[in-house]
C-alpha cells in the first residue's frame, strides 16, 4: 500500500516573511511528521503548497498556516496539525536563538513506507564529527564511539535509535539512508546546529 511521502523543498532556502537582517541565520528543518493521506479530492494530481510557519526560539513550531490552500479544508486542517509537530533548528540573530515566521514550499508525492533500524552519533562541532567518522573508517566500534562522543540522548544505548520511518528525516538524510546497506554508516551530515552520523543496523539487531 502506498503511503504519503512529504518532500520539503527549499528551492531558495526557507525565507522570512519580512526582509531578513544581515546577521540572521534562518532555521533549518530537523525532523518532520508525514502529512495525512490525501482525500479523494486531492488524489491523482501533484500538489504543491505554500506555508507560513512560526518557528519558536527552541525550534518548535508555534503556529502554521497555508498561504495557498489544497482546496480541501478538512485535509488542510489535518495537515497543519502534523506540521505543528515538525522540529527546526532555531533561527539565530547575533548568535542568539529567536522566534521567526518563515515561508516554506512543500510538494506531496507517493512512496512506500521505509523502516530502518538506525543508530546515531550527534556532535555540535564539525571537527569532532569528522574525527569520529575517521575513527569509524579505521574500524572503531560505532557503539563505543557513540557512548564516548555523541551528544544525543541515545549515547547511553550506544547510539541505538531503533526502527525509524526515514520519512521523518529531511530529504537530504533520506537520500543518504536509502543508499546504505546494513552495517554501513553515513559521513557527517549537518542538521541544524548538529552534525549527525547514522548507521543502518545489521538485520536482526
In the chain, pLDDT over 70 holds for what percent of residues?
Answer: 83
What pLDDT is attached to residue 43? 65
Q: Break the chain into its structural domains and give their ranges.
A: 3-111, 115-200
pLDDT greater than 50 at residue 181: yes
Q: What is the pLDDT of residues 115-137, one digit of tens each?
A: 899 999 999 999 999 999 999 99
- Is residue 15 very low, low, confident or very high in pLDDT (cuts 50, 70, 90)? low
Could you please report the per-residue DSSP string of the chain? --EEEEEEE-BTB-EESSPPPTTEEPP-EEE--PPPPPPTTTTTS-EEEEEEEEE-TTSBEEEEEESS--S-HHHHHHHHHHHTT-EEPPEEETTEEE-EEEEEEEEEEEE---EEEEEEEEESSHHHHHHHHHHHHTT--HHHHHHHH--SGGGGGTTEEEEEEGGGS-HHHHHHHHTPPTT-BPPPEEETTEEEEEEEPPTT-
Q: What is the pLDDT of residues 58-76, one digit of tens each?
A: 999 999 999 887 778 888 8
pLDDT greater than 80 at residue 8: no
This model's pTM is above 0.85: no
State the architecture of 3-111 in CATH terms: 2-Layer Sandwich (3.30)
Check whether domain 115-200 has CATH 3.40.50.150, yes or no: no
pLDDT greater than 80 at residue 183: yes
Amino acid at each position: 500500500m502506498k503511503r504519503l511521502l512529504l518532500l520539503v523543498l527549499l528551492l531558495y532556502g526557507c525565507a522570512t516573511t519580512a526582509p531578513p537582517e544581515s546577521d540572521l541565520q534562518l532555521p533549518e528543518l530537523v525532523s518532520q511528521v508525514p502529512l495525512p493521506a490525501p482525500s479523494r479530492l486531492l488524489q491523482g494530481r501533484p500538489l504543491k503548497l505554500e506555508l507560513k510557519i512560526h518557528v519558536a526560539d527552541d525550534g518548535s513550531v508555534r503556529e502554521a498556516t497555508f498561504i495557498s490552500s489544497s482546496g480541501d479544508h478538512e485535509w488542510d486542517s489535518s495537515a497543519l496539525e502534523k506540521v505543528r509537530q515538525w522540529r527546526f533548528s532555531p533561527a539565530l540573530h547575533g548568535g542568539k536563538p529567536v522566534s521567526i515566521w518563515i515561508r516554506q514550499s512543500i510538494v506531496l508525492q507517493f512512496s512506500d513506507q521505509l523502516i530502518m533500524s538506525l543508530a546515531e552519533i550527534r556532535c555540535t562541532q564539525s571537527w569532532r564529527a569528522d574525527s569520529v567518522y575517521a575513527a569509524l573508517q579505521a574500524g572503531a566500534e560505532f557503539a563505543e564511539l557513540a557512548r564516548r562522543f555523541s551528544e544525543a540522548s541515545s549515547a547511553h544505548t550506544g547510539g541505538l535509535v531503533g526502527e525509524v520511518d526515514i520519512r521523518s528525516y529531511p530529504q537530504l538524510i533520506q537520500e543518504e539512508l536509502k543508499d546504505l546497506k546494513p552495517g554501513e554508516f553515513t559521513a557527517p551530515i549537518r542538521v541544524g546546529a548538529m552534525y549527525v552520523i547514522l548507521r543502518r543496523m545489521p538485520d536482526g539487531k
